[in-house]
């Protein structure tokens, strides 16, 4: 950005029941980034303009209600749909804001969401046939409501250029730093991250999410096998044994198990075993080899590969980040 350019504007949308901690946290993060950027340029003018937007009850128009650098009335460079502690907006609730967001996008604004903000973003239709993320708790619901969206909650941020989605409630920090990196450069982003003691973007949401199996699918024979797998720790199980417990032929069992749970039986068992291993890494001093054996893996190397695939971290890195034993 040249010194003669107007500052890039980041707008934050204040929709009903938005998480205020994210709104003000983002505002502070961008304020700090702007301070670092202006200190490095000679013009003295702001490098970032931060605004809050709200749909007015009287006119139904969406207007700026806060602005750090009042000036031109153009559309923001980026609009952020923050997280919320409430359930996702219904299509009817989202419709007026979705239309407004489509208009801004048509004018060149990049749209971004955090957590359940993805549902409002999806109502615009702009996520169709794209990959998007949200809080892992809402992954199934997002996929059900918007079947043309490819939901991937392993990733904390998915940047599609004109549309960016971020995962869990606190992923606003990752999104904020990513936008600083995009608009002001990596030096300012790293200065901001260090000052806030926040990890730079690059984390994966799967490191934080726990396995939440589908149990309310209505297939009693598959549910019976699921209950058995949970009780046994999914140790020393084979397809033949699972199919026999369900009273089904193996091919029929595979088809119905995947339809009910969204996973193949081997994937389901891996998630159960890794879940047990994560608990032991967090709360015990056992070695990785001991934990692998306790989770049902004879080969520690195979365990490490599966663990890395599911969590995005090696067992040692996971313990360093989340382990509680030995901490004061």
DSSP string, 78-93: EEEE--BSSPPPPHHH
Same domain, 202 and 227: no
Q: Output the pLDDT for position 62.
A: 95
pLDDT band at 71, cuts 50/70/90? confident
Question: In terms of domains, do 103 and 141 share one?
Answer: yes
Residue closest to 76 by CA, chosen among 107, 44, 42: 107
Domain boundary among 184, 207, 230: 207
**For the residues 207-222, what does the mean pLDDT come to?**
81
Which carries the bigger pLDDT value, residue 61 or residue 217?
61
Mark whether 152 and 71 lie in a shared domain.
yes
Do both 191 and 285 map to the same domain? no
Window from 155-164, 167-176, 211-220, 269-278 with minimum mean pLDDT:
211-220
Residue 145 located in a structural domain:
yes
Residue 2's pLDDT band (cuts 50, 70, 90): very low
pLDDT higher than 50, residue 61 = yes
**Does 196 lie in the same domain as 124?**
yes
Give the β-pairing of 78-81 and 110-114. Answer: parallel
Query: Is 28 or 215 the better-scoring residue by pLDDT?
Result: 28
Residue 93 inside a domain? The answer is yes
**Would you say residue 214 lies in a domain?**
no
At residue 142, does pLDDT exceed 60?
yes
> What is the edge-to-edge ordering of all strands in the sheet holding 62-67?
62-67, 48-55, 8-13, 78-81, 110-114, 163-166, 157-159
Average pLDDT on 17-42 reads: 93
Tell me the per-residue pLDDT of 107-124, one tens digit each, with 9 for 90 and over: 989 999 999 999 999 999
Q: What is the mean pLDDT of residues 11-32?
A: 96
Same domain, 57 and 133: yes
Domain end (from 153, 181, 207) = 207
Q: Which of 84-98, 193-207, 226-240, 314-328 has the lowest mean pLDDT?
A: 314-328
What CATH number has the domain bearing residue 168? 3.40.50.880
Q: Does the pLDDT of residue 66 top 60, yes or no?
A: yes
The pTM of the full predicted model, rounded to 2 decimals, is 0.72
> Domain tally for the chain?
2
Residue 155, beta-bridge partner list: 204
Residue 269 in any domain: the answer is yes
What is the rounded distance in angstroms from the CA atom of residue 292 to the CA atom of residue 323? 16
Residue 4 clears pLDDT 50, i.e. is over it: no
* 200 and 70 within one domain: yes
Could you tell me what percent of the chain has a pLDDT over 70? 96
Do residues 166 and 75 share a domain? yes
pLDDT of 5 above 70 = no
Would you say residue 215 lies in a domain? no
327 assigned to some structural domain: no
Residues 118 and 234 in one domain: no
State whether 263 and 200 are in the same domain.
no
Residues 304, 201 within the same domain: no
Stretch 128-137: mean pLDDT: 94
220 Cβ partners below 8 Å, 6+ apart?
none
The whole domain housing 297 covers 220-322
Task: Assess whether 13 and 136 both reside in one domain.
Answer: yes
Residue 254: inside a domain: yes
Query: Can you spell out the DSSP letters for 17-80?
Result: TB-HHHHHHHHHHHHHHHHHHHHT-SS-S-SEEEEEEEE-TTT--EEEEEESS----PPPSEEE
212 within some domain: no
* Average pLDDT in the chain: 90
User: Does residue 201 have a pLDDT over 90?
Assistant: no
């Amino acid at each position: 950005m040249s010194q003669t350019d107007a500052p890039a504007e980041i707008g934050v949308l204040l929709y009903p029941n938005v998480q205020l901690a994210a709104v003000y946290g983002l505002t502070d993060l961008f304020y700090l980034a702007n301070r670092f950027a202006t200190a490095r340029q000679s013009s003295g003018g702001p490098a970032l303009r931060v605004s809050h937007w709200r749909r007015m009850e009287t006119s139904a128009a969406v207007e700026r209600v806060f602005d750090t650098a009042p000036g031109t009335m153009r559309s923001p460079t980026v609009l952020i749909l923050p997280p919320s502690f409430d359930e996702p907006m219904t299509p009817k609730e989202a419709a007026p804001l979705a239309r407004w967001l489509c208009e801004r996008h048509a004018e060149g604004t990049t749209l971004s969401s955090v957590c359940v903000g993805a549902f409002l973003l999806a109502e615009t239709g702009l996520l169709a046939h794209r990959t998007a993320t949200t809080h892992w708790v809402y992954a199934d619901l997002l996929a059900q409501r918007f079947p043309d969206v490819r939901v991937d909650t392993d990733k904390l941020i998915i940047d599609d250029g004109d549309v960016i989605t971020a995962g869990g409630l606190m992923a606003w920090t990752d999104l904020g730093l990513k936008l600083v990196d995009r608009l002001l450069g990596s030096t300012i982003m790293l200065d901001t991250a260090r000052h806030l003691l926040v990890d730079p973007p690059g984390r994966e949401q799967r490191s934080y999410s726990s396995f939440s199996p589908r149990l309310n699918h209505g297939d009693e024979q598959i549910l019976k096998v699921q209950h058995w797998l949970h009780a046994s720790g999914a140790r020393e199980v084979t397809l033949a044994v699972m199919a026999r417990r369900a009273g089904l032929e193996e091919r029929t069992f595979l088809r119905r198990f995947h339809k009910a749970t969204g996973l193949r039986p081997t994937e389901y068992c891996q998630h159960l075993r890794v879940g047990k291993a994560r608990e032991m890494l967090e709360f015990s001093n056992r070695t990785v080899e001991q934990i692998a054996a306790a989770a049902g893996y004879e080969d520690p190397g195979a365990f490490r590969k599966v663990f890395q695939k599911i969590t995005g971290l090696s067992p040692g890195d996971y313990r360093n980040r989340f382990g509680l034993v030995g901490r004061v």
